């Protein structure tokens, strides 16, 4: 399935995006955060543009980058919270990584003495195991086997009916009515799953 074929089934013109490039994170200590992303998540330090006049670091792996920016103004805020154990809330903002073995993830985190919480997502018999933990600055990381639940755009399934918990009551004005190839449930799922398989993050320690 080519990008041209994907474009042809879209009812709206989107921006010419390719993929997630990087996530930028403010941190108290570039050294501590870089060490965490290297040793815990397996990222590798890469060359950073020499024109930058502020402390930071770039890391890369799994097809995405982590850009660390040292922010001294965070010191006072976090110093006053050093004795406070921040709860790990799966509903908080977080970065999620696909992994191949959630059990191994939990064992390694235990060996490192890291706090984490787990969650289980179920849908139509499919189950996704999630592990959540914090980086040195309290940003939350999720590792999961999310490929267990297929990616199915709502617009690709004509049988979809809004319920009392659905956040919208009519088709998006951007996508319009469900017609043509979009009306075939599973078509866009196959397109997106093929694209996803090309970029799947093979997480390993």
Measured distance CA(128)–CA(147) in Å, rounded: 8
**Model confidence over 90-137: pLDDT tens digits?**
999 999 999 999 999 999 999 999 999 999 999 888 999 999 999 999
Q: How far apart are CA 61 and CA 202, in angstroms?
A: 10
Contacts of 152 (CB under 8 A, 6+ apart): 185, 186, 188, 189
- CA dist 111 and 198 (Å) reads 32
Q: What is the pTM of this model?
A: 0.70
Residue 48 has pLDDT above 50, yes or no: yes
Q: Tell the CATH topology of 19-83.
A: 2,3-Dihydroxybiphenyl 1,2-Dioxygenase; domain 1 (3.10.180)
Round to whole Å and give the CA distance between 111 and 139.
21
**Residue 22: pLDDT band by 50, 70, 90 thresholds?**
very high
Are 19-83 and 85-153 in the same CATH fold?
A: yes
The 3-state DSSP class for residue 120 equals strand
Within 13 Å of residue 107, how many CA atoms lie on the same side as its CB? 6
Beta strand 56-61 with 64-70: parallel, antiparallel or unpaired? antiparallel
CATH number corresponding to 85-153? 3.10.180.10
Is 5 assigned a catalytic role?
A: no
Helix, strand and coil content of the chain, in percent to the nearest 5, comes to: 25, 25, 50
The one catalytic residue in 70, 83, 111, 142 is 142
Categorise residue 134: left if φ over 0, alpha if ψ from -120 to 50, beta otherwise: beta
The structural domains of the chain, with segments of one domain joined by +, span 19-83, 85-153
Return the number of other C-beta atoms located less than 10 Å from residue 105's C-beta: 23
**pLDDT (tens digit per residue) in 124-183:** 889 999 999 999 999 999 999 999 988 888 877 655 555 555 554 444 444 444 444 444
């Amino acid at each position: 399935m080519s990008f041209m074929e994907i474009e042809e089934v879209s009812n709206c013109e989107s921006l010419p995006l390719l993929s997630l490039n990087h996530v930028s994170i403010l941190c108290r200590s570039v050294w501590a955060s870089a060490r965490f992303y290297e040793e815990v998540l397996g990222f590798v330090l890469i060359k950073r543009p020499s024109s930058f006049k502020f402390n930071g670091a770039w890391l890369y792996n799994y097809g995405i980058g982590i850009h660390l920016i040292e922010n001294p103004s965070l010191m006072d805020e976090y110093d006053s919270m050093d004795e406070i154990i921040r709860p790990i809330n799966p509903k908080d903002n977080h970065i999620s990584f696909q992994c191949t073995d959630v059990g191994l993830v939990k064992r390694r985190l235990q060996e490192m003495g890291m706090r984490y919480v787990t969650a289980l997502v179920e849908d139509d018999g499919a189950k996704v195991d999630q592990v959540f933990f914090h980086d040195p600055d309290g940003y939350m990381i999720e590792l999961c086997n999310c490929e267990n639940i297929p990616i199915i755009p709502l617009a690709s399934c004509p049988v979809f009916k809004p319920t009392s918990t659905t956040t919208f009551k009519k088709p998006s004005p951007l996508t319009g009515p469900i017609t043509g190839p979009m009306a075939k449930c599973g078509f866009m799922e196959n397109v997106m799953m093929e694209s996803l398989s090309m970029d799947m993050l093979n997480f390993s320690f």
